[in-house]
Amino acid sequence: MKKLLSWSAVGLLTTAVLDPLVYGMLERPIPWLRDVLMAAGGIACFYLLIKFRHER
């Protein structure tokens, strides 16, 4: 479960940061709601990792 949470957190946060850059280079409107939701999901995954770090 920890590996899934860490992969999800890193993937979501990386995508939330790089997605506006790609849309900006393509000169298309940036879907801010989707990027904010991906960032919130990544932060939530990191929060769960920190909260339950001592459990097996």
| pLDDT tens sequence for the chain (56 residues) | 889 999 999 999 999 999 999 999 999 999 999 999 999 999 999 999 999 888 76
Name the residue range of residue 23's domain. 2-51
- Domain count across the chain: 1
Q: Is residue 36 part of a domain?
A: yes
In a domain, 56, yes or no: no
Q: pTM for the complete prediction?
A: 0.85
Whether 20 is in a domain gets the answer yes
State phi, psi for 31 to the nearest 5 degrees.
-80, 85
- Residue 37 falls inside a structural domain: yes
Find out whether 34 and 19 touch, Cβ atoms under 8 Å: yes
Alpha helices in 1-56 (DSSP H): 2-25, 32-51
The token pair that represents 5 in the structure block: 């949470």
Residue 42 lies in a domain: yes
